[in-house]
Amino acid sequence: MRTHPLHAAMLLLPLVLAGCTSKASNSTLLRESFDSGDTYARNLDVAPAQACEAARRVLLGQGYAIARADAANVEGNKNFQPKDEVHEQLVLRVSCAARGDGKAQVFVSAVQDRYALKKSPTSASVGVGALGSVSLPFGSNDDSLVRVASSTVQDALFYRNFFERLQQYVDEMSPAPTSGAPIQ
């Protein structure tokens, strides 16, 4: 019995598609879900500029170096050295946007970069007239940090702690309600 080329292609199509989807399902991008969780965002009852100022104070209070801060964005970083030849840096980026009512919606994400110390031998070249140049090692090594990993922090407790501390700073910055006549 003879099969038509179109029938053969139809029989092979499910196998080809199965092969494509198994590789694609391993992709980090396909595992990313845009669910309704609020791990990286909170609404605050203050203006965006106040929220970003509170975020700046949270980062300063935890030992972060502020790389950038304005009314809509704050970026800070903190360095760690868990082992002799390993360096880690945590970078937090905070964005403060206005909701429809003028209050702030705050978004935060943290990226953790890991660096390793790499050694490379150093040599010098010497030009010798008719012979050309000669490369001579002079016995030292140059050390440099090389980024070996980078990932977005996805720990919900980390972000919950950040937002709790942020709310404390917002509360401290808000004027206390007055009752009755002003004090003179």
Helices then strands, counting H and E runs in the chain, come out as 4, 6
- For residue range 2-45, list pLDDT tens digits in order: 555 555 555 554 544 455 544 545 566 666 667 767 889 999 99
pTM exceeds cut of 0.75? no
CATH label of the domain that carries residue 76: 3.30.530
Instruction: Could you list the beta-strand ranges (E) of the chain.
Output: 41-44, 65-69, 73-83, 86-98, 104-128, 132-152
Confirm whether 62 is domain-assigned.
yes
The CA distance from 106 to 67, in Å, is 18
- Flag whether 14 is in a domain: no
pLDDT score recorded for residue 136: 56
The verdict on residue 27 lying in a domain is no
Q: What is the pLDDT of residues 102-120, one digit of tens each?
A: 999 999 999 999 998 887 7
Which domain does 114 fall in, by range? 37-172
Structural domain includes residue 24: no
What's the number of domains the chain is made of?
Answer: 1
